[in-house]
Chain A
Amino acid sequence: DSGVTQTPKHLITATGQRVTLRCSPRSGDLSVYWYQQSLDQGLQFLIQYYNGEERAKGNILERFSAQQFPDLHSELNLSSLELGDSALYFCASSPGTSQETQYFGPGTRLLVL
């Protein structure tokens, strides 16, 4: 158990809809990262937050957004969903910002029908 929790575990929705994925980092970790794992794209970094502020952006679509709250939990919002957004979404956390080990949650499996 990494100490990172993600909810929900599974999510099934329809095209055009909007969903919110939630992540609670390990106790004491200030950085939260979001990743997407799909069969065709592999594991891709989406976005990083550090202590409430956006720190780095990866291959995140404009339809996707994230935020980190004062209690350090984070939410990833996916809107105008398309079939191709079906994937595993992982959250990871680390203490700070620099080349540290990232600890991954169990993931949220999203299926868009």
Chain B
Amino acid sequence: GNSVTQMEGPVTLSEEAFLTINCTYTATGYPSLFWYVQYPGEGLQLLLKATKADDKGSNKGFEATYRKETTSFHLEKGSVQVSDSAVYFCALSQGGGADGLTFGKGTHLIIQP
């Protein structure tokens, strides 16, 4: 079956540091890939997505590239802010009528001033 593996946390960085959160997946065919973010006490918000190989999703300074050869979708940001502190989830959608998202376990990111 489908699965998503991401580094768990917490990951603690200083403000303005470079961020990478690794995500790899197992799926058949050509899934769509997503990063969602969950702020404390809130629901999930879509951060970015990519629907085919070599696509780059980007939003709010975050980027991730769909790498089919390494089955990865790593999240990066050049300079993090305290307001980026949240839990980040990598997810995939298989499509073909079975469209429940498969999530990784989430990475808790803490940015210190």
Give chain A's interface residues, CB within 8 Å of chain B.
2, 4, 31, 33, 35, 42-48, 55-56, 58, 90, 92, 94, 97-107
Specify which of B43, B97, B104 is in contact with A2 (CB 8 Å cutoff).
Answer: B43
- B45 contacts A99, C-beta separation under 8 Å: no
- A99 contacts B44, C-beta separation under 8 Å: no
A residues near B105, Cβ cutoff 8 Å: 42
Chain B nearest CB, measured from A61 CB (Å) = 15
- B100 contacts A48, C-beta separation under 8 Å: yes
How many pairs, one residue from A and one from B, have CB atoms within 8 Å of each other in the complex? Answer: 68
Specify which of A33, A98, A104, A105 is in contact with B100 (CB 8 Å cutoff).
Answer: A33
- A98 contacts B99, C-beta separation under 8 Å: yes
| Known contacts A2-B43, A104-B44, A104-B45; A99 and B51 CB within 8 A of each other | yes
- A43 contacts B89, C-beta separation under 8 Å: yes
- A99 contacts B103, C-beta separation under 8 Å: no
- B49 contacts A101, C-beta separation under 8 Å: yes
Question: B69-105 CB contact bits vs A (8 Å, 1 = yes)?
Answer: 0000000000000000000010001111111111111
| Known contacts A43-B89, A99-B95; A56 and B43 CB within 8 A of each other | no
A-B contact pairs, 13 of them (CB 8 A): A43-B106, A44-B103, A48-B99, A56-B97, A92-B44, A92-B101, A94-B99, A99-B51, A101-B46, A102-B46, A104-B43, A106-B42, A107-B43
B residues near A90, Cβ cutoff 8 Å: 43-44
Give chain B's interface residues, CB within 8 Å of chain A.
31-32, 34, 36, 42-46, 49, 51, 89, 93-106
| Known contacts A45-B100, A107-B43; A99 and B32 CB within 8 A of each other | yes
Most A C-beta atoms less than 10 A away, residue of B34, B43, B89: B43
- A43 contacts B103, C-beta separation under 8 Å: yes
Chain A nearest CB, measured from B63 CB (Å) = 17
Chain A nearest CB, measured from B106 CB (Å) = 7
A residues near B49, Cβ cutoff 8 Å: 101
Chain B nearest CB, measured from A53 CB (Å) = 11
